[in-house]
Structure 1
Amino acid sequence: MLALAALLRFWALGRPGTLVFDELYYVRDAVTQLANGFPTSWPDDDPSMATPFTDDASFAVHPPLGKWIIALGLLVFGDGSWGWRAGVALTGVVTVGLTMLLGWRISRSTVVALLAGLFLAVDGVHVVLTRVGLLDGILAAFVVLGALFMWRDHERVVDRTRLTASGIAVQWSRPWLFAAAIAFGCAASVKWSGLYPLAAFLLLTAARDLLVRVVAAREAARTLGVTADLALHRHASTARALGRWTRQAFATGVIALPTAAAVYVASWAGWILTTGGWGRADGPWPSALWQYHVGMFEWHSTLSAPHPYQAHPLSWPLGLRPTAMYHEVLDGGLTATISPLPNILITWGGVAALILLTIWGFRALMRPRELVRRSPVLGAGAFAAAFVVTGYLSGWLPWVLTLSRSAVFQFYAVVLTPFSAVALALVIGVICRRRGGRDEVAGRRIAVGIFVAAAVIVSVLFFPVWSAMPVPEWFWRWHLWLPGWV
């Protein structure tokens, strides 16, 4: 799967040889950041970058880490379109590997892991956003890494939390939580929206810790063998569990939040250790950095410039308004296009899978012990369903609820694609593992095989319009299946 992911992301990566879409901002910031430690301005908007940059500080509206990764590609492969896209393409391949590992940790199924990797490897939105020098594909990599570490923390906590009174003490030793905080701190250092999944997974962790402790306390009271005073013992045990949970939630926050904040501040080292960056001379660096962030927040909160490819977040799950990033009419009736048109079998199938996981998660609320018990279907209990859905919603729901900014775009949804791929793989795993007659099981597996093959074929057919391959005009038009895809 990694070889396939690499092929789809690195093949003809230098095409086209000029900046496309928002590469105009991020690649130029990366070039100047590499040269100075902070972004400086360019005299014009020439996508060929033929005119040298100036020494005047530029007001960059996103944190530096994503642009350092773009700069790493430039450092290794030199100036040019291959160089400024290589770092992002590499993070795309890494994201596929992390998604496979997350799918395996959740399900302990090699088939599920391979399917999750395959679905992400050929997902049109993820392919395109890891073939251009934008920040969102990098953001997705750190979000998945943080989610993987959070899952490992869940496994460790559950392993140490046996349903006995001795297993519900406050746990301060949480190395995987610490690692997750570093990963999510890196995500926020690419784009501020990386804070959303950190907050969502911390809330989910707190909810899990509460349920685990309440269930553990009640089980401990029941094993005492008390009859007449059972209700009293349960009440007292539950009260103690709530007290421990409060202390555990505090400990979790103490471990995660300062760590993520420290990583975020460290990502600004180039700006901090130099004197020429935007606003750097406005007093000591902590106050200057704060004022810089006030300006960034004002810019983001008031951005409302109209754009032909604005897409309301409610349309993102179905990919109804993809962001066309490049289109050029060539000689001989040919065109070259870069547009993250979704593979609807994967995108829409992922949405259906997430709905099923949500239903399973709500059913689990009626059986709290399922949150800490292994399941023959999901492999790690119903908490797996809540975990995957939380990962997806953390990248989508905050944008749905954002009312102060209208200029939002479909390509932000690339952070949803790994969780959608895992969800689809888990549901297919359930379909394949359900019991039944030999003919019934064989029929389900044949249907799954046809679906997977069809998804791959669709991606093969769409790859030319994901990668600026010169194609006839009619071929490009044939791919415009929905009105919003124009």
Structure 2
Amino acid sequence: MSNWRDSKFITPLARFTDRLIWLSEHPVFGVMAIALVAFGTRFWNIDGTADIVFDEVYYPKFAQNYLRGETLFDAHPPLAKYIIALGIQLLGYAPLGYRCMTALAGSLLPLITYEFVWQLSDRRSWAWLTGWFIAMDGLLLVESRFGLINIYILLFGMLSQLCMVLALKRSRQRWFWTIITGLMLGASISVKWTGLAYIIGLVAIAGYAWSRYRQTLNAAQIVIGLIIVPIAFYFLQWIPHLMINPERDIWELHRQIIGFHQNLGVGKTEPIHPYCSPWWSWVLLIRPIAYFFENRPNSMVEFVHAMGNPLLYWLSAIALLLCLSFVIASKFRFPPQAITQIPLRERSQLFWLMFYVTTSFLAHWLPWSLSKRCIFLYHYMPASVFAFAALALLVSLLWRSPLPNIRALGGGIFAIVAIAFLFWLPIYIGLPISSGYLPMLMWLRSWI
């Protein structure tokens, strides 16, 4: 019976896994596959779902205000609206115009993160899996298909991480890449202030580079490139906004923005929005956000649900716990035998990679525990990338096993994430579905 099961299930899965491993080690084909899925799912029919979806009531209008020179008040820095305005300038004030730049940013995110992980670790399979998991997440997909701004935080934030690695690896171009790192960090903060959390990742990368390669930035590069440049970029990007809105200086404007966020929902006995969710629930995907719902003829509905890939979220939560456990156990005076059996150099690299992933995740996630305002699942997006990277790292380690069954386990994890992505794809991209089929997609009552 055991041999029958092996031949019936394990052997085909092992062959499937070996093909995935081959694809991950041949970047021309592997990266093209990621790009095809990322661009295809983000650009397909992006102007086919309503004219206004969720917070598109704000951001495209603000972008249009900048183009027309009309006054406005926005509770976030203006950079993302400038970028949306560029799409409107090119393609007009229509869904395609104010969604195209966001779709481009969301399509590039898996590729940029792939390159970052590859440059950081020299592990092709980890980089490839991370890119795939980002491409196959539902929330990142939904946020990339509309005129919203959260995806730009991730785009510029991950670019800052990539440029930091390049700055430390390329000593002859260190000043150039350090300046670009500062610009990308400043750009992330210029979308929303939560981009500040990427600083933790930059520090962890610096620690890894010093530990492994004895490479570091000098004091001038840190002060100019990583402090002065992002601050200067942040304040300079306000100039067009201030020219259109001269009634407030930069300091008064920031006081009003801070006051807006501090007072949002204060004194309310009930949540100000039905899809508010506590920060701790995001990891478990307890409360997604309905962005659009419309009844269609013949008992059909069009539904866009800002919901992560459930299997990807839940497996990533387990992976984060395992990575955190490894980091803590590695620093014990007497670490577990399973850890001591790993060669010292390999163990040191794994420690730093898992340390980077877990600290970056916590830096983007834990600060929300202090928030008193209504918060949403989309605030988890920057942290989710590092959760996916944790899962990708563990799967890549399974793929390195000499045992076919262990490699097959890694292939099985990839397969169920991909199947889950396809299963929930209709409510990510707003495909018309039967109203009777919709309850099959709503596994938890809190998802409704």
Same fold (TM over 0.5): yes
Distance in 2 (CA, whole Å) between partners of 1:450 and 1:206 is 35
Q: Summarize the Cα distance change of 1:268–1:458 in structure 2 as closer, same or farther, 3 Å threshold.
A: same
What is the one-letter code of the residue matched to 1:13?
Answer: I
Distance in 1 (CA, whole Å) between partners of 2:344 and 2:101 is 39
Pair 1:256-2:218 in alignment = no
Pair 1:136-2:150 in alignment = yes
Residue in structure 2 matching 1:429, options 396, 410, 415: 396
Q: Quote the residue 1:180 is aligned against.
A: 181
Pair 1:470-2:436 in alignment = no
Distance in 2 (CA, whole Å) between partners of 1:267 and 1:60 is 14
Pair 1:268-2:238 in alignment = yes
How far apart are residue 377 of structure 1 and its match?
5.1
Residue in structure 1 matching 2:325, options 343, 356, 359: 359
Residue in structure 1 matching 2:111, options 92, 97, 110: 97
Q: Quote the residue 1:27 is aligned against.
A: 60
Q: Summarize the Cα distance change of 1:376–1:346 in structure 2 as closer, same or farther, 3 Å threshold.
A: farther
How far apart are residue 149 of structure 1 and its match?
2.3
Distance in 2 (CA, whole Å) between partners of 1:337 and 1:106 is 39
Q: Quote the residue 2:3 is aligned against.
A: none
For residues 72-112 of structure 1, give each alpha carbon's deviation from its aligned partner in whole angstroms, at most 9, with x where no partner exists. Answer: 22222222112211110100111110111122123322222
SS of residue paired to 2:287: coil
Distance in 1 (CA, whole Å) between partners of 2:436 and 2:360 is 39
Distance in 2 (CA, whole Å) between partners of 1:101 and 1:359 is 27
Q: Summarize the Cα distance change of 1:72–1:386 in structure 2 as closer, same or farther, 3 Å threshold.
A: same
Q: Quote the residue 1:406 is aligned against.
A: 373
Q: Quote the residue 1:13 is aligned against.
A: 46
What is the one-letter code of the residue matched to 1:398?
Answer: P
Distance in 2 (CA, whole Å) between partners of 1:254 and 1:184 is 13
Q: Summarize the Cα distance change of 1:462–1:375 in structure 2 as closer, same or farther, 3 Å threshold.
A: farther
Q: Quick check: 2:396–2:410 contact (8 Å CA) kept in 1?
A: no
Pair 1:301-2:262 in alignment = yes
Q: Quick check: 1:26–1:133 contact (8 Å CA) kept in 2?
A: yes
Q: Summarize the Cα distance change of 1:424–1:74 in structure 2 as closer, same or farther, 3 Å threshold.
A: same
Q: Quick check: 1:23–1:134 contact (8 Å CA) kept in 2?
A: yes
Q: Which structure 2 residues correspond to residues 315-334 of structure 1 after superposition, within 5 A?
A: 315-334=281-300
What is the one-letter code of the residue matched to 2:222?
Answer: T
Q: Quote the residue 2:351 is aligned against.
A: 382
Q: TM-score, normalised by structure 1?
A: 0.76
SS of residue paired to 2:375: coil
Distance in 1 (CA, whole Å) between partners of 2:205 and 2:220 is 12
For residues 403-443 of structure 1, give each alpha carbon's deviation from its aligned partner in whole angstroms, at most 9, with x where no partner exists. Answer: xx3210001112123222222111111112135xxxxx111
Pair 1:481-2:447 in alignment = no
Q: Summarize the Cα distance change of 1:352–1:149 in structure 2 as closer, same or farther, 3 Å threshold.
A: farther
Pair 1:197-2:164 in alignment = no
SS of residue paired to 2:294: strand
Q: Which structure 2 residues correspond to residues 136-155 of structure 1 after superposition, within 5 A?
A: 136-155=150-169
Distance in 2 (CA, whole Å) between partners of 1:424 and 1:127 is 19
Q: Quote the residue 2:276 is aligned against.
A: 310
RMSD: 2.9
Q: TM-score, normalised by structure 2?
A: 0.82
What is the one-letter code of the residue matched to 1:115?
Answer: L
For residues 196-235 of structure 1, give each alpha carbon's deviation from its aligned partner in whole angstroms, at most 9, with x where no partner exists. Answer: 222x2355467669x859x99xxxxxxxxxxxxxxxxxxx
| Runs of at least 5 residues in structure 1 that lack an aligned partner in the other structure | 41-56, 161-171, 217-244, 283-287, 436-440
What is the one-letter code of the residue matched to 1:355?
Answer: L
Pair 1:3-2:36 in alignment = yes
Distance in 1 (CA, whole Å) between partners of 2:344 and 2:135 is 28
| Runs of at least 5 residues in structure 2 that lack an aligned partner in the other structure | 1-33, 266-270, 334-338
Q: Summarize the Cα distance change of 1:89–1:378 in structure 2 as closer, same or farther, 3 Å threshold.
A: farther
Distance in 2 (CA, whole Å) between partners of 1:156 and 1:63 is 32
Q: Quick check: 1:377–1:433 contact (8 Å CA) kept in 2?
A: no
Q: Summarize the Cα distance change of 1:104–1:449 in structure 2 as closer, same or farther, 3 Å threshold.
A: same
How far apart are residue 468 of structure 1 and its match?
1.6
Residue identity (%)? 27
Q: Summarize the Cα distance change of 1:375–1:27 in structure 2 as closer, same or farther, 3 Å threshold.
A: farther
Distance in 1 (CA, whole Å) between partners of 2:264 and 2:42 is 31
Q: Quote the residue 1:114 is aligned against.
A: 128
Q: Quote the residue 1:241 is aligned against.
A: none
SS of residue paired to 2:182: helix
What is the one-letter code of the residue matched to 1:356?
Answer: L
Q: Quick check: 1:106–1:380 contact (8 Å CA) kept in 2?
A: no
Bigger radius of gyration? 1
What is the one-letter code of the residue matched to 2:398?
Answer: I
Distance in 1 (CA, whole Å) between partners of 2:206 and 2:124 is 30
How far apart are residue 375 of structure 1 and its match?
7.2
Q: Summarize the Cα distance change of 1:2–1:205 in structure 2 as closer, same or farther, 3 Å threshold.
A: closer
What is the one-letter code of the residue matched to 1:89?
Answer: A
Q: Summarize the Cα distance change of 1:96–1:378 in structure 2 as closer, same or farther, 3 Å threshold.
A: farther
Distance in 1 (CA, whole Å) between partners of 2:120 and 2:344 is 10
SS of residue paired to 1:338: strand
Q: Quick check: 1:66–1:190 contact (8 Å CA) kept in 2?
A: yes
Q: Quick check: 1:139–1:415 contact (8 Å CA) kept in 2?
A: yes
Q: Quick check: 2:302–2:432 contact (8 Å CA) kept in 1?
A: yes
Distance in 2 (CA, whole Å) between partners of 1:281 and 1:80 is 30
Q: Quick check: 2:279–2:369 contact (8 Å CA) kept in 1?
A: yes
Pair 1:348-2:314 in alignment = yes
SS of residue paired to 2:303: strand
Q: Quick check: 2:175–2:221 contact (8 Å CA) kept in 1?
A: no
Distance in 2 (CA, whole Å) between partners of 1:89 and 1:5 is 9
How far apart are residue 381 of structure 1 and its match?
4.7
For residues 249-287 of structure 1, give each alpha carbon's deviation from its aligned partner in whole angstroms, at most 9, with x where no partner exists. Answer: 796345412111111112113124x3x41xx135xxxxx
Distance in 2 (CA, whole Å) between partners of 1:130 and 1:375 is 41
Q: Quick check: 1:129–1:137 contact (8 Å CA) kept in 2?
A: yes
How far apart are residue 390 of structure 1 and its match?
2.3
For residues 366-423 of structure 1, give each alpha carbon's deviation from its aligned partner in whole angstroms, at most 9, with x where no partner exists. Answer: 59xx9xxx97758945211111222222221111233xx3210001112123222222
